[in-house]
Amino acid sequence: MTKKIYGVIDVGSNSVRLMLSDGCKTLSKTVKTTRLAQGMVDGVLQADAIERTANAVSFFYKKAENDGVNEIYVFATAAVRSANNGHSFVRRVKDLCGADVDVVSGEDEAVLGYKGALGNNDGGVIDVGGASTEIIICKNQTKIYGKSIYLGAVKTTDECGQDFDCAKAYVKQKINEFGIVPKSNFYTVGDTATSIAAMLLELEQYDAEKVNGYEITIDNLTKLTEKLYAMTVEERRLIKGLQPDRAEVIANGALILLEIIKKFDIDVLKVSESDNLEGYLMIKRNFV
C-alpha cells in the first residue's frame, strides 16, 4: 500500500515554507522569502506583502495538490495573528487556492516548535522568527515555562535597519518581557537558527544532516554577529551558508539569539532541523 503523503505550509513573518512528510519522516522542505511582516505600521500588513505572500502559499498549495499530496495544512504565525488586517491575508489565500489558514497563537506556536524538536522529551526550545520569538520548557512532559514576545528579525530590521547600537538596545529591552526563564537543555529551531549553523559550518550547499545537532555557543555566535554587522547587506549575500534573501535580516536575528543566551546564561544551543512544521503535523495527526 502506498504511504499517505502530508503537506504542511508555514506562513511566517519572513518566509513561507512547504514541508512534505509521510508521517514518519520529513521528505522535503522548500522555502520562499516573502517578508509578510515588512513595513507593518500600526499593526497593518502592507498590500504588496499580503499579495506576494498569498501567492507563495497558493503556489505551494497547488504544487502539493498536483504532486498527489493527500492532505495539506496551512498555518500562520506572528505577522498574521498580530495584524489588524490579518483577515485580509486569510481571505486572499482562500480566494487564490481555496485553502483555509489556521492562525495559531503565540503560546501554540511555542508548543509547535517544541513538539517538532523534542516530541515528548524534556528540554527547552528557542525560536527566533521574523516577528515573534518563543521560549518554551517542558519537564516530565509538562510545560513549566512558555512565552511568546513580539520581537523578531524582520520587526527589529523595520525598527533599526542595520544600526547595531539601535538594535542591541531595542532587543535587550524587549527580551526583558521573558521574565525569569528556568534552566534547561536548550534547542533552537527556525530559519534564523539553521542559517546561523549553515554560516558557521560555511556550507557551500545546505546540508540538513550537518545542521541538525550543530552546537551554537556564545563564542561562535558573538564572532558571527559582529562579522555580520561589519558587512553591508550586499556583502552578506555572498556568505557561504546564507540564503541571499535573508541577508537584510540575518544580523538582527543573530543578535536576538545572542542576547537571549547571554541574558539567560545558556552555555550551548543545539540546532534542530525539525521545527514547527513537524510539530504541527504531529499534533494535527496525533502522531505524538
For position 286, what pLDDT does the model report?
A: 77
Domains defined along the chain, listed by start: 6-103 (3.30.420.40), 119-271 (3.30.420.150)
Q: What are 165's three cell numbers?
A: 547600537
Task: Give, as one character, the DSSP assignment of residue 216.
Answer: E
**Per-residue model confidence as pLDDT tens digits over 15-74:** 999 999 999 999 999 999 999 999 998 899 999 999 999 999 999 999 999 999 999 999
- Answer whether 288's CB lies under 8 Å from 115's CB: yes
- Answer whether 154's CB lies under 8 Å from 14's CB: yes
> Phi and psi dihedrals of 189, rounded to 5?
-130, 170
For position 287, what pLDDT does the model report?
A: 59
Q: How many residues does the chain have?
A: 288
For position 1, what pLDDT does the model report?
A: 54
Long-range contacts of 198-207 (CB under 8 A, 24+ apart): 198/240, 198/241, 198/242, 199/224, 199/239, 199/240, 199/241, 199/242, 200/224, 200/241, 201/241, 202/240, 202/241, 203/240, 203/241, 204/240, 206/241
E-strand stretches of the chain:
6-11, 15-21, 26-33, 71-76, 101-103, 123-128, 133-139, 142-149, 186-189, 215-217, 268-271
Tally of CB atoms within 10 A around 268: 12
Print pLDDT tens along the chain (288 aa).
568 999 999 999 999 999 999 999 999 999 999 999 999 988 999 999 999 999 999 999 999 999 999 999 999 999 999 999 999 999 999 999 999 999 999 999 999 999 999 999 999 999 999 999 999 999 998 999 999 999 999 999 999 999 999 999 999 999 999 999 999 999 999 999 999 999 999 999 999 999 999 999 999 999 999 999 999 999 999 999 999 999 999 999 999 999 999 999 999 999 999 999 999 999 998 754
For position 285, what pLDDT does the model report?
A: 86
CA 110 from chain center: how many Å?
A: 11
Tally of CB atoms within 10 A around 140: 6
Strand pairing partners for 10? 17, 75
Widest pairwise Cα distance in the chain: 58
Tally of CB atoms within 10 A around 219: 8
- Answer whether 45's CB lies under 8 Å from 103's CB: no
- Answer whether 252's CB lies under 8 Å from 167's CB: yes
- Answer whether 93's CB lies under 8 Å from 74's CB: yes
For position 29, what pLDDT does the model report?
A: 95
Sheet architecture: strand order including 215-217: 142-149, 133-139, 123-128, 186-189, 268-271, 215-217
